[in-house]
Amino acid sequence: MNYICCVLCFLLMQVAVAAEVQVWKSTNGHEFEGEFLELGPQGVSLLGGDGKTVTVPMAALDAASQAQAEQAYQEALKYQPVFTHKNRHLRFSLYANASCLVVDYFVPGNPESPFSYTLDLNAAEVESPKKRTTLKVTGLAGELEVKRSEVVMNLLMDNGAVISLAVDVNNRADLQLSHTVSSVPEGRAPVYANVSLNIDPLITYDKKKMIYVGEKVTPETVYADMLSIFDGYEIKYESFYGNESVRMPYGEGLTKGFLALSCEVILPGKPTLSIDAPEDRQNGLIQLDFYGGKLLPQGYRLQMRRSQQDQNHAGPFSIRLK
């Protein structure tokens, strides 16, 4: 049985955000008002004031209205998946924005309640170690590249650089992805990128009320209780230096993150999330950073990033549930 189901939404995109009435103009000078609905092979679909939908061929619009349609389409891409793939193990969707990939892992016996994770693209233009400018995704750069075994989404950054995200399309239980800084405009500083998976805080500290807040704590919880509350919550990782295997309890105080070849996020009562870096260390590594505090329960970020040897490419990384 073929469990692959690919839905390509690139050719016909329905807007999920609140639309606005805009003025459109044809090549013969006729002006009319309408809300942008979608951009497809037949042209631009607009909703008129009478509630009727009309589709206007792009060639019938003047240059300004064609640009307006393209801008509205790119805005729509930020909220709708441009590609979705599903097999019996997982489903992933690609988005043309910073939160570029959402993956749902199906649990045997309970497919209606998958475990969902969102991966974010982070990029910066780096002029020097102390001067870096965060970049934003503005939309797709060209068409989606759908190949036999992978799909490649090229994202245009606000400095003109293009970052490509490649995800394998298959029947496997693990998600495999790579990212590449494909091009940087001449004269611009180097661009560094990574894809991160953010682990939400299990606890936060309310400074005003001076109490810990979270699913596992009560108003009476004090710092000394943390070790017992988070017993069993830990990260297991293979260090990038020395290949040693380390188990890091959630209650253990830390001062910085770490670099790893693989890591497992162990949460009692839930499947273990496992991430593996590429077999060749020159093709990337995993970096863990803490949000603000020095404890894992206060939240952290797992970054799939480049190595020092290859400044532009990282991957493939493998993400799965165990």
d(CA 44, CA 24): 11
Better-scored residue on pLDDT, 115 or 256: 115
User: In the numeric block, which tokens belong to residue 128?
Assistant: 């020097």
Task: Return the pLDDT at 5.
Answer: 38
8 A C-beta contact, residue 69 and residue 44: yes
Q: What percent of the chain has pLDDT over 90?
A: 45
Question: What's the pLDDT band for 126 if we cut at 50, 70, 90?
Answer: very high
User: Is residue 232's pLDDT more than 60?
Assistant: yes
d(CA 204, CA 196): 21
At residue 233, φ and ψ (nearest 5 deg) are: -85, 120
Tens digits of residue pLDDT in 33-64: 988 887 877 888 888 888 788 899 999 999 99
Task: Return the pLDDT at 151.
Answer: 96
Question: For residue 75, what is the enclosing H or E element?
Answer: helix 63-77
**Segment of 10-24, 86-100, 162-176, 257-271 carrying the highest mean pLDDT:** 162-176
**Segment of 170-179, 226-235, 283-292 carrying the highest mean pLDDT:** 170-179
d(CA 226, CA 190): 43
User: Is residue 227's pLDDT more than 60?
Assistant: yes
* DSSP structure class, residue 182: E
8 A C-beta contact, residue 84 and residue 91: yes
8 A C-beta contact, residue 234 and residue 250: yes
Residue with tokens 């990260």: 235
Task: Return the pLDDT at 303.
Answer: 94
Give the chain's domains with CATH numbers.
17-77 (2.30.30.700), 89-195 (no CATH), 200-321 (no CATH)
Please give the mean pLDDT across all residues of the chain: 84
